[in-house]
Amino acid sequence: MRSASPPDPILEPFASLAARRADRPLVASPARLWTVGEVDRAAAALALRVAEEALAPGRLVGLAAPSGPAFLAGYLALRRLGLVPVLCDSSEPTPDRIAALDRLGVAAFLWSAAGWPESTAAWVVSRRAPARELELAPTTGAVKLTSGSTGLPRGIAVGAAALAADDAQLAAAMGLLAEERCLAAIPFSHSYGFSSLVLPALVRGSLLVLAEDRAPFATLAAGRALGATFFPTVPAYLAALMRLREPPAWPASIRLTISAGAPLGAETARLFRERLGRPVHVFYGASECGGITYDRDGGAAERDTVGEPIPGVEVEVDAEGGRLRVRSAAVADGYLPEPAPELAGGTFLTGDLAAWRGAEIQLGGRADDLVIVRGKNVNPREVEALLAGLPGVSEVCVLGVDGPDGPRSQLRAVVAAPAGGIGYLEVVEWCRGRLAEHKIPRSVVVLPELPRSARGKLDRAALVELPAVVE
């Protein structure tokens, strides 16, 4: 006798919520509102449209929509059909994106240009014809996209149970409640936004608060208008606010602000705490395994750590290479289209160098960021920490670039100095006497601010291509 499938840990809670509280607000902006019932009905109607494509359960379908009800409805529709959503950035498919999806064996693409669609007519469903359609277990909750070591995009297949486990672990660690009003500035399609915003909404019915436009401070205005209580954000946003002479009013209702996606500078954390009378809590995680550590007291950034392991997450520093290894119920199933030993068997070996500082984890950069200068290893984080103390510098990134001795044989310092007055000589003189000679950057770029990707992370490819002053 065939055993019944276990309840889906994301779809079942949402179905229960829709049955009990269809009128509960789920997504809101200062001018618009969708309830649980409206998202549920939109997902049902959209599922009927997608079903016309006769896709077999377990097939991969690209999903792209702006953050809002459209994304939630699209995700639910695909999952209800037993299809696997591939989380894509919210724009019309481009040739490069289609090529990447075809490489992953994606059978179709579902996208909407409208975050608040008036009907299912706002959606476009396009069938793909990859050389080989990939099929996963219908219990796969999502495929996240990331860049591989070769630069080619690859997928991370995450089971619905792993996504739900990550949500439960984060909610417990952060004290998140169903009644939270989550200020949604991180795109829903990004791993950080999906775990911090989408899952709390679908699993617990937490309200998602959205801005009406992309103006720099529209997010904070929406938070003030709708009483946001929880704000997941990125260091670049907080650093920009702290540089303002007259920053916009911070929503008084926000009880918890977390920062993730990149290291949060100690100075930014200090200024935030002193000016607003509350801390920023550091959250460290990875697409492959969800949340890893959390800063409960809000002082980790000023201590140069990323907090303690989240309950339910086991971490260890690899004895050979110093990389951080993670084991938890939230670890993904594996990479696509080809597996890799770093992600298998419920463990993930990150590329992050780490060390214990008491009960907390301190990160020391990426293992693949180490630069060999004159036959000696240089950790860029050491040089960055020194240059961060140079007066006039607001941010700095040190990386390896091609030099006379070969690929990635030269240190480049890219310095953000909004007020100017800093150049090659100032950078080099600051390092002399404080660093060994081979650790002094020989390539220097000074900019008003460092370039970043749409995800708020440093655009390292752009940093490598910048023209530099060289000794």
Give yes or no: residues 328 and 438 share one domain: no
- pLDDT score for 467: 80
Give yes or no: residues 334 and 409 share one domain: no
The pTM assigned to this predicted structure is: 0.85
- pLDDT score for 93: 63
In this predicted structure, the answer to whether residue 471 has a pLDDT above a threshold of 80 is no
Give yes or no: residues 320 and 432 share one domain: no
Give yes or no: residues 250 and 319 share one domain: yes
Among left, alpha and beta (phi > 0; psi -120 to 50; other), residue 421 is left
Which H/E stretch holds residue 401?
strand 395-403
What ranges make up the beta strands (E) of 71-129? 84-87, 108-112, 123-127
Residue corresponding to tokens 């009003």: 181
Amino acid found at 9: P
- Between 5 and 271, the higher pLDDT residue: 271
Q: Give the pLDDT confidence of 67-97 residue by residue, as tens digits.
A: 999 999 999 999 999 999 999 988 756 776 7
Residue 336 CA to residue 348 CA, distance in Å, equals: 15
pLDDT band at 59 (very low <50, low <70, confident <90, very high): very high
Give yes or no: residues 331 and 429 share one domain: no
186, 233 in Cβ contact below 8 A?
Answer: yes
Give yes or no: residues 192 and 333 share one domain: yes
- pLDDT score for 147: 66
- pLDDT score for 317: 95
Beta bridge partners of 111: 64, 124
Average pLDDT (364-393) is: 85
Out of 331, 350, 366, pick the residue that ends a domain: 366
Average pLDDT (289-302) is: 97
pLDDT band at 420 (very low <50, low <70, confident <90, very high): confident
Closest CA to 57 of 119, 111, 5, 1: 5
Q: What is the DSSP letter of 56?
A: P
Give 319's contacts (C-beta < 8 A, 6+ positions apart).
none
In this predicted structure, the answer to whether residue 339 has a pLDDT above a threshold of 70 is yes
Q: Give the pLDDT confidence of 14-26 residue by residue, as tens digits.
A: 999 999 999 999 9
101, 153 in Cβ contact below 8 A?
Answer: no
Closest CA to 379 of 362, 398, 361: 398
CATH code, domain with 216: 3.40.50.12780
Give yes or no: residues 426 and 299 share one domain: no
Output the average pLDDT for the chain: 91
Residue 130 CA to residue 362 CA, distance in Å, equals: 43
Out of 350, 366, 382, pick the residue that ends a domain: 366
- pLDDT score for 150: 45
- pLDDT score for 4: 52
Residue corresponding to tokens 């980790």: 300
Out of 304, 334, 366, pick the residue that ends a domain: 366
Give yes or no: residues 8 and 134 share one domain: yes
Residue 404 CA to residue 411 CA, distance in Å, equals: 12
Give yes or no: residues 339 and 383 share one domain: no
- pLDDT score for 2: 44
Give yes or no: residues 152 and 283 share one domain: yes
Give yes or no: residues 335 and 458 share one domain: no
Full domain range(s) for residue 229: 1-366
In this predicted structure, the answer to whether residue 411 has a pLDDT above a threshold of 70 is yes
CATH code, domain with 380: 3.30.300.30
Domains held by the chain: number:
2
Closest CA to 200 of 375, 393, 17: 17
pLDDT band at 5 (very low <50, low <70, confident <90, very high): low
- pLDDT score for 149: 45
Give yes or no: residues 319 and 416 share one domain: no
**Tokens describing residue 391:** 């007066």
